[in-house]
Structure 1
Amino acid sequence: MALTDTMRVLRSRAPRVRELASPRKHPMAAVGLFLLLVYVVVAIVGPAFVGDPLRTSAVDALTGPGATHLLGTDRFGRDVLARAVVAARMDLLVGLVIALAAAVVGSVIGVVAGYAGGWVDEVIMRVTDVILAFPGFVLALIIVAVLGDGVPNVVVAVAVAYSPYFVRLTRSQALAEREREYVDAAALSGNPRWRIALRHVLPNALGPAYTQATLVAGWAILDVAGLAFLGVGIQPPAAEWGVMVAEGANDVLTGAWWTALVPGALIVLLALAFQMVGDDVQGSRR
């Protein structure tokens, strides 16, 4: 797709973004976009206004919310607000990177399968069916157990788990796009098959993938936090919401509810924001 064509597509989608942000026409999407904006602002500028999330203090251990520590401290005396704000940057970035990686890899594979057809399509779709037989979280857990702990391994594991969703979406769209006249015109112009698939069919088959990426970002954040809660993937003392929930789970029994409730609520709200935006876009496409 030429640069002018790309700019024309972006301009045509700008009114759609503004429409989604309209509280009157799309109240749920507007709320979701507002929550996402708040999270983005906190993730970008928040860490500059809080203290060191790794600073411990035995004297301040399990201090309740108050003037000194607005959201209290954990069992190590670390400020919950500082850890939650710093964790927002990691969790939001990891969720977006996973969604982008899964969308790019899955969409390319799906377009190749749909445009090539034949045995290529058959092999790709059978492998996709095998991967989809596993729940995404379980497959990510298995992959992280094999690759080892660490943020890069978590990103790879969760992205692999959700790539098949994009494969099926873009494949079905590519099957329709390959029958259009612009594909025949590109072939008659002497373009090789790989160029037609990736340069012409792929950009026009990405419509459903945009919606799916929004939903996957929310699922990915839940999965990353869930893996950390189980003790795999991101490890303490990293400031990450799943790690914070895992560390604060036992504190709830002693009355220190804030150590687990605060990060847990942040996870739910962020996943809900992505879900509200994704559901609204998905409904409007039907």
Structure 2
Amino acid sequence: MGKKKQGKQKNSEKLPRLSNKVYEAEITKLHAELVKLQYWVQEKGLKVIVVFEGRDAAGKGGVIKRLTERVSPRVFRVVALPTPSEREKTQMYIQRYMQHFPAAGEVVIFDRSWYNRAGVERVMGFCDKKEYVNFLQYVPGFEHYIKESGIILIKYWLDTSMKEQKRRFKQRIEDPRKVWKLSPMDLESYKRWYEYSQARDNMLLATDHDESPWYIVPADDKKRARLNCISHFLSLIPYEDLTPKKFELGDRDLTNEYDDELAMEELHVVPQKY
């Protein structure tokens, strides 16, 4: 398997920020295309895995949210696994991920994945050197097996600058709506910027290959990152528009008509506060 050098990333901050009007117009178009893709995946029985990795605070959650917010959660399933249980720690490393793999007609999106071994586990010492080296050695073969089984595997790495990561972390600290996004691991990743950079580079060198490449998403501009990533994802799976013809409501059947408005005072109604 040939290894490819990672090209220099373009700095999206040099581009003008997208206006909300332009962004909303473009994301609406992409959402409509994702619905078409959903029908195609179901009709053709496709099995798709999308892996999202990247810097902490790079915006993975935002991309995943926009990717899935207008499609069925029964077709587009998001998997974000917690810390492994004591039982899972005794299993084969990849085992806890494989049980979430797609059946026919499903797209499974991993918010972090088996690549934790090459990132946080390596940097924080949660695995030993032998486990780490074995992972980098064997994961290309594992991904070959995934592809051979008929699964479409797509891998994204969201990258952000040191300056932008700091800004987002500070925003999370100060915003009560976002403070839940911070964890001790996030704070450690902030301190260990260059250790994570080295782990990322080693991972890309070992696991970026023609059969299953990594796609790098510059993510300092969240809006552009979301649009670019979703557009790119759509380009990787050829599909046709199989959406049903326009539905018609027709007429209501009033055969069993009766007064179906129950007395509100007899029910537990949510107070009209706003």
TM-score (norm 1): 0.26
Higher relative contact order (CA 8 A, sep 6+): 2
TM-score (norm 2): 0.26
In proportion to residue count, which structure has more helix?
Answer: 1
In proportion to residue count, which structure has more strand?
Answer: 2
